[in-house]
Chains A and B, each alone.
Chain A
Amino acid sequence: MVENTTHSEPSGDDIRPPKASIGVIGWLRANLFDGWLNSVLTLVTLFVLWKTIPPFFRWAFVDSLWFTDGAVCRDAPGACWSAVTTNLRFIIFGFFPYELQWRPLLAMLILFFLLFYSRDRTHWNKYLAYGWVIGLFLMGLFMKGGLFGLTPVDSTQWGGLPLTLLLSVFGLTAAYPLGVILALGRQSSMPAVKYLCIIYIELIRGVPLISLLFMGSIIFPLFLPEGITINSILRAQVAIILFTAAYIAEVVRGGLQGMSQGQYEAADSLGLNYVLTMRLVILPQALKIVIPPTVSILISAFKDTSLVVIIALFDLLKTSQTVLSNPEWMGFSREVYLFVAILYFLGCFSMSNYSRRLERELDRGY
């Protein structure tokens, strides 16, 4: 049985491709000036860029003011980044007691560290799981206080970036497994399970997130016995989880349908039971196929957390708006919103970047 047959490429003449088809000139010709329409579009684009980029650059960096008060800014021709720098702590931390803001900062740093460390799949072991449990406990402790001599801070004072991160990170990590379970339930051969999942998914997808948040914050408490209240952040969190899970369920269902019958049969014929078949054979493949649409959902869910303003939670977007309602900084919305946009962009971009990295790493050539 011979596995390796040696092949040799035909050797001999070294004919090179024509000069104009390779290198910088070749690239320019192929991509920017390939035909008259392409050439015109290239020139128009260059003109538009020339007209917009330098003025923006001048506004943002050359003529801009960074550390002044609002009155000085009003006469300046450039951007007033002072609106951001002066109010940075309020935008980031909201109404969290000023002298205690190192606590949410520390909590966020722990979160960033854990997320960053978890990027690498070779780090996924039980110690990382312990790390997350301890990290979550510390984050909760720093946010809430009340133990080890830390001043308690009521969750109504939480706001800004920590709140946005809290709602997104927990919302997404809880919604994902729930969505997978719903997708499996929808495929179940047991009619009761199947129809419950279908009804759930279709009902949730049939209403906007805003209405779920309203229901959670206004209607739901009416049904609770007197004296019992549930934290409004928790109610928003649950609404986000339930909402996102329904969307993830449908995406995962698509992945499950993409699996060939042969994979189920191969797993069955080894004697694997349903749970093992799903866990070891079907889900690893199905979830990988649907990484791109899943990440789209996670990204939009991340941005949708800003809808919690309607139930009076002060997330990142709301704290920025609050700054703009201060007479001193009124009118500098461009700068403040740009800043917030950059923060959101960093979050979304890292997610989509990471998803591409995962896809690459999990690529097995099938």
Chain B
Amino acid sequence: MTEQTEKNIISAPDDEAIIDITGMHKWYGEFHVLRDINLKVRKKERIVICGPSGSGKSTLIRCMNRLEEHQRGQIVVDGIELTNNIKNIERVRAEVGMVFQHFNLFPHLTIVENLALGPIWVRKVPKKEAEETAMYYLEKVHIAEQAQKYPGQLSGGQQQRVAIARSLCMAPKVMLFDEPTSALDPEMIKEVLDVMIELAREGMTMLVVTHEMGFAKSVAHRVLFMDFGQIVEENTPEEFFNNPQHERTKLFLSQILF
């Protein structure tokens, strides 16, 4: 799978924005974690966010489904502004899938129950139908034979693929990935990235916080570099990796690419 063929398969984003962030700030107490964030994510667009640890990249995507609260500015997701209105927040969360670094599967439920939980209780889908959908997505992440097991019986890579499938079962409009491969053993990273690439090929809107630069190169439309709570640089992967503009970006790239 060369970069060139990959790029050809992958669709171009629409013009319509699905997430629109303007002048957003966030503080943890006195600490200013996110400064003046302006970001428009278009439908079918894939954005990779990278940057040194503590730069606010996870916090940024966690603000997009209100796992974190912002204090200034505006975040509009799928036409709904995120405020304290809990009903709106729940509506947004149902449309935005999230994959965590530590998978966060529900350990007391089987794999198929993990997947069917959201559709049954949030989307009010009949149980049988929800389980069929669950099996469909488990096939898709190549793990259908584990459906009746519990998360504790699966490897890290398998758990993360289940977590991706769990989000997909809600038929989300956007998928947020918060360092999805950082907690995995090296030999399991590829199986998760493969699933994410397949997802990209189908035109899913994706925001991915990751240090997998190979993934960024082959899949992303845009790469964002964050440092000290700011978006320092954003560009196409080609420009970003071959011709970085800022000193901080150059330093960062020199430290992670050998």
Contact = CB atoms under 8 A, between A and B. Distances in A.
A1 B194 contact: yes
Contacts of A260: 104
A203 interface: no
A32 to B, nearest CB: 37
Interface stretch (B35-43, B115-123, B220-228): B115-123
Contacts of B97: 269
A88 B187 CA distance: 71
A271 B107 contact: no
Interface stretch (A44-52, A278-286, A345-353): A278-286
B252 interface: no
A364 interface: yes
Interface size class of A (residues with CB under 8 A): 20 to 34
A265 interface: yes
A124 B150 CA distance: 22
Given A272-B121, A272-B122, A266 B106 contact: yes
Given A269-B67, A280-B117, A364 B94 contact: no
Contact of A362 (B67, B96, B108, B122): B108
Contacts, number: 82
A149 interface: no
Contacts of B105: 266
Interface in B58-103: 65, 67, 86, 90-91, 93-98, 100, 102
Contacts of B104: 260, 262-263, 265-266
B134 interface: no
A273 interface: yes
Given A364-B107, A364-B150, A365-B152, A265 B100 contact: yes
A3 interface: yes
Contact of B106 (A3, A263, A276): A263
Nearest to A277: B121
B153 to A, nearest CB: 6
Contact of B91 (A268, A271, A362, A366): A271
Interface size class of B (residues with CB under 8 A): 35 or more
Nearest to B176: A269
A45 B86 CA distance: 65
A281 B106 contact: yes
Interface string A1-20: 10100000000000000000
Interface in B187-214: 191, 194
Select the residue from B67, B100, B108, B158 with max chain A CB neighbours within 10 A: B108
A1 B191 contact: yes
A270 B152 contact: no
B249 to A, nearest CB: 30
Interface string B109-134: 00000000110011000000000000
B121 A266 contact: no
Given A270-B118, A271-B93, A365-B150, A1 B142 contact: yes
A284 B108 contact: yes
B117 A270 contact: yes
Which are the 8 A-B pairs with shortest beta-carbon distances? A271-B94, A266-B104, A365-B152, A366-B107, A270-B118, A262-B104, A269-B98, A271-B93
23 contacts: A1-B194, A3-B142, A3-B145, A262-B100, A262-B104, A263-B106, A265-B104, A266-B98, A269-B65, A270-B93, A271-B91, A272-B90, A272-B118, A280-B117, A280-B121, A284-B108, A285-B106, A285-B107, A365-B150, A365-B153, A366-B107, A366-B108, A366-B151
Interface of B: 65, 67, 86, 90-91, 93-98, 100, 102, 104-108, 117-118, 121-122, 142-143, 145, 150-153, 158, 166-167, 170, 191, 194
